Structure 1
Amino acid sequence: MKGIDATEFERLERQAGELGIELSGRWLWVRGLTQTLSLCQGDNVLANYSVSTAEKGFGCREGSHQTPIGWHRIGEKIGAGETLGRVFKGRQAQAEIADISHGTQSTGRDCITSRILWLEGQEEGLNRGGDVDSHDRYIYIHGTHEEGRIGQAASIGCVRMKNAEVTELFERVDVGAPVFIQAD
């Protein structure tokens, strides 16, 4: 993998530093324009994954069904050791194993599957506190049964990933890892 453009990394590092966030360890970078999530360490990209952000675009308000922007951190990891495709409701593993859809049309369900990385906003008034709090909005990076929709905006606010890929990512990042979400 190649590194992040030096100018871009300096911009991200400066923004993060203003919030007391260090990018020397592993961190995640979600880009809406390309529907990608990069696993980074410092200015190096370790892995790239296709994702699905919100069908309604980007925004931080409660009830907007949009993906929040800005700096976050992984607040909690849920689902270690669970079977690929395991369905979660209220962050609790259910008996159901989802049927994975490879079609590009909605199935009419919004299943949370395999693993959950629960995000906490780090920018007061943008994605933390009041009616913009990403944690209180239950914003996750998680697996989905609609794998055929990965690469297009299709979620109701979370960042969706393919089940095998979110399981891999889950093992490669720790609670507390920074996450930057940008619309463009």
Structure 2
Amino acid sequence: MERTKEKCAALGLKPTSRLITVSIAQQLLGFYRDGCLVKSHVISTSLRPPSNIKDSLGTPRGLHEITEKIGAGQPPGIVFKARVATGKHFSELGADEQARNLITTRILRLRGLEPGHNAGTNATGQVVDTFDRYVYIHGTNHEDRLGQPFSAGCVEMSNLGILELFEEVRVRDLVWIED
């Protein structure tokens, strides 16, 4: 939490009363309100090493904000493609599709707030933009794999967990992702 405040001060941003923290090492997401932990969730981050670089498939680090909340009113387990509900629960799909990491239940789309680190391009011209990489916090059809790295860069949660979190957070709330 202290690092988030320091980063906000360095970027000239006001901390939000609601904060999500993601620990890649511990595979845990914490939801805080007014500096107090409200709930923690076991998650899955990238199977690959953390990375902010486009096409790395790594979970990006640093300070982000929720830029979109997608899926309100959809039933738990509904599958999204290109941020649009398909109308199908993941269990209704064929075995080949179910084997993949699907985006289910709700989507919290992230935007990086640190130019050159997780927004825009870095000093060597590589794209490091979390928003352009379509990195989300979302539900998964592989809840049995939560607690271990498995995603393609997103932060995956249980379907009931993302339902709870979705109702608690607002667009522009901060998200801190660290190793």
So what's the TM-score if we normalise by structure 1? 0.88
- 1:66 match: 58
State how far apart, in whole Å, the 1-side matches of 2:175 and 2:34 are: 13
**SS state of the match for residue 166, structure 1?**
helix
Aligned pairs for 1:121-136 (under 5 A) are 121-130=112-121, 131-136=127-132
Q: Deviations over 1:54-79 (max 9, x none)?
A: 00020011100100000000000000
Q: Which residue of 2 aligns with 1:39?
A: 31
**Pairwise CA distance, 1:17:** 1.8
The percentage of aligned residue pairs carrying the same residue is 40
Uncovered stretches (5+) of structure 1, i.e. residues with no partner? 1-8, 101-106
TM superposition shift of 1:110: 1.6
Aligned to 2:71: 79
- What is the SS of the residue equivalent to 2:26? coil
RMSD after superposition: 1.4
- Confirm or deny that 1:99 pairs with 2:91: yes
Contact map agreement 2:4 2:63 (CA 8 A) in 1: no
Cα distance per residue 1:110-165 (max 9 Å; x no partner): 20000000000000011101311000000000000000001100000000000000
The answer on whether the counterparts of 2:75 and 2:105 sit within 8 Å (CA) in structure 1 is: yes
Note closer, same or farther for the CA distance 1:37–1:143 as it changes in structure 2 (3 Å cut). same
1:19 is displaced (CA, Å) by 1.6
Match of 1:6 in 2: none
Query: After the TM superposition, which parts of structure 1 deviate over 4 Å for at least 4 consecutive aligned residues?
Result: none
Residue 156 of structure 1 pairs with residue 152 of structure 2: yes
Q: Tell me the equivalent position of 1:170.
A: 166
**Is the 1:54–1:154 contact (alpha carbons within 8 Å) kept by the matching residues of 2?**
yes
Aligned-partner Cα distance in 2 for 1:55–1:169:
23
- Which AA in structure 2 matches 1:111? L
User: Is residue 112 of structure 2 the alignment partner of residue 112 of structure 1?
Assistant: no
Instruction: State TM-score, norm by structure 2.
Output: 0.90
Mapped to 1, the partners of 2:13 and 2:45 lie a distance apart of 24
> Number of residues paired by the alignment?
169
Distance 1:170 1:11 in 2: 24
Q: Which deviates more, 116-125 or 24-33?
A: 24-33
